Amino acid sequence: MTKLRRWLPALLAALPAPALAQGVVVAPHAVFIDHATRAGSITLYNPGEEPVEVSVSFAFGYPTTDSAGNVSVELSDSTPPGEPGAAAWLQAFPRRVTVGQQQRQTIRLLASPPANLPNGEYWARIVVGAKGGKVPVVGVPDSAAITVGLTLEIRTVISVVYRKGQLTTGVTLAPISAGYAHDSVHVRLPLTRTGTAAYLGTARVSVVNSAGDPVGQDERAVAVYHALNPRLTVPVGTLAPGSYTVRVSVSTDRADLPGREALPAPTVEDAVEIIVQ
């Protein structure tokens, strides 16, 4: 630790020029709170040369898909009826803070759930807003002195999961569909969650030709709170006419999350054949 304290100034001094612009670091990008501790935290760091005003608030939302398979998270201030929301009983300390230049700030998250909260998983989103401590006025005035200034506030939205009791998760994969267009293979993955907690995993897609040679692959993290039918696009270039197999595997390994936070579940797989004319 002593060595790290000694290195820190040198590390800060070594930051490249762009890092000196207004900005903020938010870590981690997902928070898991257990009913036993009822507390968590996020850490903010301002690498810039100006103070940054930070606000922390909570909302409800989780990933859903539209008819085309686009994934989005729509936030709402209140929890819709029937949904296991946690935003109403989560608090952040402090909610507003000015983080000085090259300073860090810990935001404590405390949960005050109802006394009779049933076992289960409860969801919320943390909204971290950050803007510069002063309003820059950009633009050069013309002869009549008209200037235009635009400030940019950046909001980071990360997930919060509150867990009580023993929870399980899983996912079912309905038959996948796939097609080839615009030098890419487009795959739809109709996923439905099972168990009592959100399914956090990774979907992997590979495309092989009739000889078994891979022609493309891709993967993306998936978070299935109820149901999700995402579209994955695998760039494959121009395919020669013939038959190709699209294989999909969905598992709970998530490189970006601590291993114990993504609840285990069996891997699900499917495959479909596509014909390129």
Site for another protein in 242-261 (CB under 8 A): 255-258, 261
Question: CB of residue 228 vs another protein: minimum separation in angstroms?
Answer: 10
Residue 78 amino acid letter = S
Q: Judged by CB, which is closer to another protein: 154, or 271? A: 154
To another protein, the closest distance from the beta carbon of 16 in angstroms equals 5
**Binding string, 1-30, against another protein, x = CB under 8 A?**
x--xx-xx--xx-xxx-xx-xxxxxxxxxx
> If binding is defined by CB under 8 A, does position 70 make contact with another protein?
yes
**What residues does 92 pair with on adjacent strands?**
109
CA distances to 1, 181, 189, 206, 223 from 244, in Å: 55, 14, 18, 10, 28
Footprint on residues 188-217 left by another protein (CB under 8 A):
none
Choose the stretch contacting another protein; rule: CB under 8 A; options: 44-52, 178-186, 191-199, 269-277.
Answer: 44-52
Options 13, 36, 115, 140; binder of another protein; rule CB under 8 A = 140
Residue 24, token pair as written in the block:
């903020």
Applying CB under 8 A, the span of 78-86, 116-124, 138-146, 209-217 interacting with another protein comes to: 138-146
Site for another protein in 117-136 (CB under 8 A): 125, 127, 129-132, 135-136
Q: In this structure, what DSSP letter does residue 221 have?
A: E
Evaluated on CA atoms 52, 152, 123, 202, the torsion sign reads negative
Q: Which candidate, 128, 114, 64, places its Cα nearest to that of 86? A: 114
Which residue of 149, 175, 237, 241 would you call a contact of another protein, by CB under 8 A? Answer: 149
Give me the DSSP letters along 58-79.
EEB--EEE-TT--EEE--BSSP
Pick one of 101, 208, 215, 219: the residue that binds another protein (CB under 8 A). 219
**In the window 159-188, what residues touch another protein (CB under 8 A)?**
159
Spatial distance between the Cα atoms of 114 and 3, rounded to a whole number of angstroms? 45
- Asked if 138 touches another protein (CB under 8 A), the answer is yes
Nearest residue to 91 via CA among 121, 112, 117: 112
From its phi and psi, is residue 169 left (phi > 0), alpha (psi between -120 and 50) or beta? beta
